[in-house]
Every structure is written in structure tokens, then in C-alpha cells.
A and B are shown apart, each in its own frame.
Chain A
């Protein structure tokens, strides 16, 4: 009985359906794709009480206006964006109930790049190769256009209380842990060490395939890369272009490339790359293989960790028109809750 749908209006330039992507298809030339910040889908699953990540609307830089045709809970995760439901401000990093006729407005990101809107019953567009993700580089699906309607699954528990969690901070740059990779040996010691001592900023050039980094440091090049056979490349790889500036590959990257790669960013730090807005400072730190392997949790483990952070969302008394009808004890708690920033 999936008669619910979401109506998309006034969408930002790049909104698409994304789930955990299509892992395991590199031999077919298909990179994982899926959400560039998979942690945001895990946060949403925790907030909505889902046992697994759900397909969501991934919104680059800005969202749009949304209406639903059946009551549902929604989760707002990833890069914090301005959000209102019928003019009432909504907390980011939280779940909320939405009724037919109400208008959800999601504006510009206040930090980071990619915000996620998840519906508790999931988005039920057809699967292609086991996923609902648009893979723009592979020509699977496309960015969504204003006026479109997407089918939603039924919210299994529409009356469940709204929840909130403090999101892991990954929206303001910072340190990216890396391990060396198969082509690190092509670079000399001094170049590799400069990679980890240089402060980079996220360049303007970037999308779901990868982001370019800039610095004042001399070019990080290898003199052994000439005639190099094309080889497999994957999410997290730090490709060094001919100009010697790093380009970090993201979810929708190509699967074979000819540029040498100086190392690989750990999966747990990739959301920090994807969410870095142009101008954000980033730097690399090398870790050992053992440390890296301990830091590569599956989403199941991440979901457990996010669930442990859940708290009930208590509404701000200023938003409540009929204070008398409300339990004031909740109002007391709300003050403290609202002082916390979304991170």
C-alpha cells in the first residue's frame, strides 16, 4: 500500500537519489557511487529507527521545497542546511513528523556541502543493478528536476517521537588519515613527507567524482610516472595530476586511471573531504596499516554507534503557540537542548 509520494519543487542545482551505492562492481567498470557522505545515511537510519541505511535525497549546497501525500517522519542529516516546515524552523541532525499539505523548505548549507533528506519509508524508485543511486558519471539515472514526484514507502511508525543526535563534525575540514598505496613507491621520500606537512585548501573544482586541493607548496610530482600503465583507482585515492596538485577521488570516480596516486584517504575520513566547501583547510596524516584496518568499520558498527547517541527531540517553547497545553518540565529541558550546535 505504497500510495505516498514526495513532490519536489524549486530544487537546487544538484539533487539526486542516493543510497549506499553499488559496491563490488569495479570489474564491470562501475565505481560504488551512492552517497558521498555515507555516514549521513547511517545517521538518518539511527534517527528513524531503520535497521539499514535508506535511500535519501542528496542535496548539493542547497535543497528545495518538498511536500508529501501521506504522513511520514523525515530525517535531516549531513551538511546542516536552513530548514523550515510551514515556516517553523527545524533542527538539523534530527527526525521530524511531516503531514500532507505542509511545505518543507530546505535552503543553503550553513556548513559543508551535501545535506540529506531521508523519508522513514524509503524512496521507492526502481533499482538499477541493485541500487537506487543516480550514478551521473556512469549514465545511470540523473539529477532530479523540479516538479518531479517520487514514490515513498510507508512509514512503519509515523507516530514515533522525533529524535536528535549530535553529528560527527566533518563539515569544516581538518585532518585526513591516509595510508600509502601501490604507487607511493614512485614518489621520493621528500615528496611524500611534504604531502603530510603541507596545508591544503579545497579548490573550487570538485563534484561527486572527486575534489581538487590547492597549496602554496611546490608541485608534488613523481619523475617515475612516465609510461605508467593505467591501473585500478578507487574512492579515497589521492591522484597527482601532471601539475602536481592532489585530487582526492570520491564515490563516483572512474575505476581505471593513468595518473600516479601518492596514497589513499581512509574511508572513515572521506566524508570530511566530500563535505569540505571550497576554501576549507585540509591536511594529510599518514597512519600505519594496522591503525587503518582498525579504523575501517562497516556501516553496521557505525549504525550501532549512532544509535547510542540518540536523544528525544524536545521542541523549543518559543515555537509552541499554546504553552498552557504543554508540559513545562519539557520546556526546561528544551533550553539546554537548543544550546547545542549541530556541529
Chain B
């Protein structure tokens, strides 16, 4: 399919890698339309491959849940040439059945679940068909992956949780969750960069600051990192919040 053909109305492919034009100087490699595990793993592996490939004329690589956006320098390469180079990379593997590479970095992140720091935990657990304690146990036992950074600066989408966490967003917007709120919906967790209205369910709070504009590494979490949630009490979280350290008690383990 040519780039122009792929853009015709009615041609979206649900379960097949596609190279699609994406705005001025952009191409999107997309593995599926929905956030299914195979497509998420494929996007992560392909992101790693394209990052290592050092493609000439490539200016920006933006990983997302099931896709990777590539921005090119039009003075160095045409859209068609860049699409061809991506096609060559894509043909190297069957990305949708490839096993993902293990994460190089593992974050251990203190969180206070439920209570004042997670006012929607009980409701969310009920929607998932679990008791509050079973919900806490399951969420903290699941190795999470940073699926994408976005929406707001540094803000991670974490997942995937087991299928029964495929919760719809709340019918009424939560007018304001605090910075550091950990919220659940559609098998994912989002750790809010700033206080924000949201349709997601707030189940926990962290003191970890995902965006530090005045530091040399303003966005500590990277797509592909693993995250493990370490439960702490509400009182301990209050102390971490009061201490004001942007790490919020988190620790980053680097695997060799």
C-alpha cells in the first residue's frame, strides 16, 4: 500500500503494522488500533530497534502505546525515502510475535494505596471484581512497564494490568486529582505530573515528581522502563510529601 493509499478513509488496519503519514515531516509506524499486549510489545521492540538504527535524516523518535512517531529532516531525506527505510527495518522481524527485551532500568516506587491518598480504590476494586486488599496485592505484584510518556510533561502511562482492570473511565470527571495521583483505567495506570481533572479513578498517591524542569534530566522515567509499586502507609506518604524530595523515596535499579 502506498503512503497516499494508506490515508484513504475507511482503510485503517486493526492488526497489521502500517506506515502512515503523520503531519508535516512525520511518519507513524502503528502496530494496532487498540492497546493489546502484542502491539504494545511490538511498539516497544520497534522503538528500541529504530533508536539503535541511527537512520540518516531522522530527527525525533516518539514512542507511544502501540505506535512510534518518527519525525524527519526534509532537507536531508524525503518522506518517501524515510518510509522506505522504515519499511526495511519493519521487514527484519515479525514484530507482533517478538518477545520484548527486558527493561534495563527498574524503578521501585513508594505508593500509598486507598484511604485519603486513593479515594477511588474501593470503587475501582469493585469494578474489577476484587476486594480492596486483593486489588492492592494484584497491582503491587504486577511488573509494570512505562508504555508511553505524554499528555503532560513526564507523565507515564503504566501497564498493562490483568484483563479485569479494563475499566471504563468514570462517567463524571473527577474535578481535580493532586500532582502525584496514581489513577487507573483501561488496564493502565497514570501518574499525574500536575493537579488535573480526570475521568480516571484515583487509587493511590506517590511523592515522586515525574517532571523537574529545572534539573538536567527533567523527565526521569523513560518509555520501556519497568516500574514496581512498593506500598507504604498513608502516614509514611505524608512524611515523603512533606520532605519534598522529588524522588519521593523512589530508587532506580539498573540491570547490567
Chain B contact patch, size range: 35 or more
Interface residues of B in 1-53 (CB under 8 A from A): 3-4, 6-13, 18, 20-26, 28, 30, 32-35, 39
**Assembled-state Cα–Cα distance A10/B102 (Å):** 57
Among the listed A27, A188, A237, A264, which residue makes an inter-chain contact with B223, where contact means beta carbons less than 8 Å apart? A27
B contact residues around A188 at 8 Å (CB): 9-10
Among the listed A27, A182, A187, A267, which residue makes an inter-chain contact with B63, where contact means beta carbons less than 8 Å apart? A27
Interface residues of A in 222-246 (CB under 8 A from B): 224, 227-232, 234-237
**Assembled-state Cα–Cα distance A180/B18 (Å):** 15
Interface contact B12-A236, CB-CB below 8 Å: no
**Assembled-state Cα–Cα distance A181/B9 (Å):** 10
Interface contact A296-B59, CB-CB below 8 Å: no
B contact residues around A234 at 8 Å (CB): 22-23, 26, 69
B contact residues around A129 at 8 Å (CB): 213, 218
Chain B residue at minimal CB-CB distance from A293 = B79
Interface contact A192-B9, CB-CB below 8 Å: yes
Interface residues of A in 17-32 (CB under 8 A from B): 23-24, 26-30
**With A232-B22, A232-B67 in contact, do A28 and B7 touch (Cβ < 8 Å)?**
no
Interface residues of B in 89-125 (CB under 8 A from A): none
Binary contact track A177-193/B, C-beta < 8 Å → 1, others 0 = 00111111111110110
**With A27-B149, A231-B66, A255-B150 in contact, do A179 and B7 touch (Cβ < 8 Å)?**
yes
Among the listed B39, B60, B214, which residue makes an inter-chain contact with A128, where contact means beta carbons less than 8 Å apart? B214
Interface contact B10-A230, CB-CB below 8 Å: no
Among the listed A181, A185, A293, which residue makes an inter-chain contact with B10, where contact means beta carbons less than 8 Å apart? A185
Binary contact track A6-48/B, C-beta < 8 Å → 1, others 0 = 0000000000000000011011111000000000000000000
**With A179-B21, A180-B21, A185-B10 in contact, do A29 and B59 touch (Cβ < 8 Å)?**
no
A contact residues around B74 at 8 Å (CB): 293, 296
**Assembled-state Cα–Cα distance A23/B26 (Å):** 13
Q: Shortest beta-carbon distance, A183 to chain B, in Å?
A: 7
Interface contact B35-A229, CB-CB below 8 Å: yes
In the complex, 17 of the A-B residue pairs with CB atoms within 8 angstroms, ordered by the A residue number, are A27-B223, A128-B213, A179-B7, A179-B23, A183-B12, A185-B9, A185-B11, A228-B33, A228-B34, A230-B65, A231-B66, A235-B23, A255-B62, A256-B64, A256-B150, A289-B3, A293-B25
